[in-house]
Amino acid sequence: MDGGAADEHLVREAEKIAVALGRMFPGLCEVVLHDLRDPDHSIRAIENNLSGRQVGDPATELGLARIADPGYPGVVQNYPNRFPDGRPAKSTSIGIKNAEGRYVAALCLNLDVSVLSPVALTLANLVATDTGHGDRPPETLRDRRARELRRIIEELAAERGCPPRSLSRADKKALVRQLYRDGCFESRDAARTIADLLGVSRATVYNYAKPPTGSG
């Protein structure tokens, strides 16, 4: 395959990518393939035409810069841009070089951010919270009984001079028995909370909670 045929092959492959990308984001992202071998008629394909350009229109300034300088960056990403009617855009330009290191094509994506801005504003308003409730008590959405159980366990462990997980086996067993006598197992997730705080399994917690053998 000679150089010209190889370059044409590259451009044709890039054209497939341009069409596929454009059809993935209909009405939102303009995708333009420039054939930089013919700068006066460089637009080879255009999907989601948001800029009003046509196939056969000339290259942009960025395309001309690539033609003039093979060392120009291969990817210029997420730079601010504008459509002819003033709408803001976010653009990315990807240069495609041939085997000799010359730019033969450029794949450009122009995202219409004017469409997304109202959506972003709506989402921001949706997740915003009102901070003007200084007289309201603090609140979490976790189970209040679980928080109370945690506090009780930490206080009982503190009386023994160490954090819950550092208690001896005998102390952990005595603590669980006390919790059981005090009715702390009524909460649905009590055994899991106790097990997590003491660093044991739930089975161990239930075993500790059993009355001593032979008790009446």
Query: Is 171 part of any domain?
Result: yes
Query: Is 165 part of any domain?
Result: yes
Residue 116 has pLDDT above 80, yes or no: no
Of 72, 78, 129, nearest in space to 106 by CA: 72
User: Could you read off the pLDDT of 159-180 as tens digits, one per residue?
Assistant: 877 788 888 999 999 989 988 8
- What integer pLDDT is reported at residue 125 of this predicted model? 72
Looking at the structure, tell me whether residues 110 and 20 fall in a common domain: yes
User: Which two three-digit tokens encode residue 196?
Assistant: 């997590």
Averaged confidence pLDDT in the chain: 85
Looking at the structure, tell me whether residues 7 and 107 fall in a common domain: yes
Mean of pLDDT values over 134-145 = 52
User: Domain limits at 74?
Assistant: 3-114
Looking at the structure, tell me whether residues 16 and 78 fall in a common domain: yes
**Domain termination site, one of 94, 114, 134:** 114
Q: Are 206 and 194 in contact (CB under 8 A)?
A: no
Collect all residues with Cβ–Cβ distance below 8 Å to 187 and sequence separation of at least 6.
Answer: 143, 145, 146, 149, 193
Number of domains in the chain: 2
- What integer pLDDT is reported at residue 101 of this predicted model? 95
Query: Is 8 part of any domain?
Result: yes
Whole-prediction pTM: 0.56
User: Could you read off the pLDDT of 27-40 as tens digits, one per residue?
Assistant: 889 999 999 999 99
Looking at the structure, tell me whether residues 158 and 75 fall in a common domain: no
Looking at the structure, tell me whether residues 164 and 101 fall in a common domain: no
CATH code, domain carrying 101:
3.30.450.20
Collect all residues with Cβ–Cβ distance below 8 Å to 70 and sequence separation of at least 6.
Answer: 97, 101, 102, 103
* DSSP-derived secondary structure for the chain: --HHHHHHHHHHHHHHHHHHHHHHSTTTEEEEEEETTSGGG-EEEEES--S---TTPPP-HHHHHHHH-TTS-SEEEEEEEE-TTS-EEEEEEEEEE-TTS-EEEEEEEEEEHHHHHHHHHHHHHHH------TTSPP--SS-HHHHHHHHHHHHHHHHTTS-GGGS-HHHHHHHHHHHHHTTGGGSTTHHHHHHHHHTS-HHHHHHHHSPPTT--
Cα distance between residue 32 and residue 130, in whole Å: 44
- What integer pLDDT is reported at residue 215 of this predicted model? 44
